[in-house]
């Protein structure tokens, strides 16, 4: 079977839309309009003679043949993208771009970057605070650091485990009486609870602690652990916080653990395209970060 002329642009538009499961996201990645993506995909479908997507009002899903084509195109474009990146990278290039989970960036990494800069002053580090899913093709970052409660890998990436997350309940020390340590169970009903994205984490912690809460768990919800920690420091209530991020505030006495039960909740991961193709600066940072995590 002979196909008509198929443009590279139409294949690239289809690949981005299929990989991201969205014409809008594909348009953002390729810096074109959604209408342009739709037109390119439609032209590709006309050239091939079959549909590549099932289209609905709010979403698109791949057809069987669309899935087959995507399975071939994605590794091909990844290889091209990686080759171009390596060709553009100069041996003496000492720039390094990180995309980092906001809570990890503000609660852990920023406080330690001074040590990295002192050891490697020749490396210029740029940090972007972001918790979107990792997609190196559409991102200029060399290294990503992400939290996940369940996932331990991401498509088309290589990962390295950094550390497991242990959550403990804390409040500002200003809210406690002098010499007061842990609270009693009844005291929790008097607290304002601060939540990370939803109420589930506190519910899990209460179950593990064996505490029955008769009233509905209420309180403000935040989408970033750094904001929750700041709210605790501002004496707004009690929160479950990551012991790694909260360490310096616990040591300084600004916040205090209020019950001797912790909850394991996911892990932080370092992700790259491929470790073997990282720049020299990237490999240096990975080694430094691994050592810093071990020391903690």
Q: Which domains does the chain have, with CATH numbers?
A: 8-73 (1.10.10.10), 95-164+267-295 (3.40.190.10), 165-263 (3.40.190.10)
Q: How far is CA 112 from CA 118, 228, 238, in A?
A: 10, 21, 26
Tokens of 296: 């903690």
Cβ count near 218 (within 10 Å): 10
Compute the radius of gyration of the chain from its Cα atoms.
24
The pTM score is: 0.73
Give CA–CA dist 16/38, Å, rounded.
Answer: 11
Cβ count near 142 (within 10 Å): 23
Burial track 46-60 (b if 16+ CB lie within 10 A, e otherwise) = eebeeebbeeeeeeb
What is the separation of C-alpha 157 from the centre of its chain, rounded to a whole number of angstroms? 13
Tens of each residue's pLDDT in the chain, 296 residues:
455 578 888 999 998 899 888 998 888 878 888 898 999 999 999 889 899 999 987 789 999 999 999 999 988 888 887 777 767 666 566 889 999 988 888 888 988 999 999 999 999 999 998 877 677 766 678 899 998 888 777 778 899 999 999 999 999 998 887 767 777 777 777 889 999 888 899 999 999 988 887 666 778 999 888 889 999 999 999 999 999 888 889 999 999 999 999 999 999 999 998 898 888 999 999 999 999 998 87
């Amino acid at each position: 079977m002979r196909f008509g002329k198929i443009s590279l642009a139409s294949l690239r538009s289809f690949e981005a839309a299929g990989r991201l499961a969205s014409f809008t996201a594909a348009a953002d990645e390729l810096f074109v309009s959604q209408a342009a993506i739709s037109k390119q995909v439609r032209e590709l479908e006309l050239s091939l003679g079959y549909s590549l997507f099932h289209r609905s009002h709010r979403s698109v899903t791949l057809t069987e043949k669309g899935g087959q084509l995507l399975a071939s195109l994605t590794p091909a474009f990844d290889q091209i993208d990686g080759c171009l990146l390596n060709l553009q990278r100069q041996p003496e290039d000492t720039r390094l771009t990180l995309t980092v989970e906001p809570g990890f960036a503000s609660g852990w990494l920023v406080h330690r970057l001074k040590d990295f800069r002192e050891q490697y002053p020749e490396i210029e580090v740029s940090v972007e605070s972001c918790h979107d899913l990792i997609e190196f093709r559409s991102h200029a970052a060399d290294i990503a650091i992400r939290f996940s409660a369940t996932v331990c890998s991401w498509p088309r990436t290589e990962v390295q485990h950094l550390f497991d997350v242990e959550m403990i309940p804390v409040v500002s020390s200003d809210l406690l009486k002098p010499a007061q340590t842990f609270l009693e169970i009844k005291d929790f009903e008097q607290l304002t609870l601060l939540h990370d994205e939803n109420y589930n984490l506190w519910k899990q912690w209460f179950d593990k602690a064996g505490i029955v809460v008769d009233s509905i768990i209420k309180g403000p919800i935040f989408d970033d652990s750094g904001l929750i920690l700041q709210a605790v420091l501002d004496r707004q209530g009690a929160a479950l916080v990551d012991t790694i991020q909260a360490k310096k505030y616990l040591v300084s006495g600004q916040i205090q653990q209020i019950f001797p039960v912790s909850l394991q909740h996911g892990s932080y991961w370092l992700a790259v395209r491929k470790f073997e193709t990282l720049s020299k600066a990237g490999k240096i940072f990975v080694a430094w970060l691994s050592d810093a995590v071990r020391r903690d």
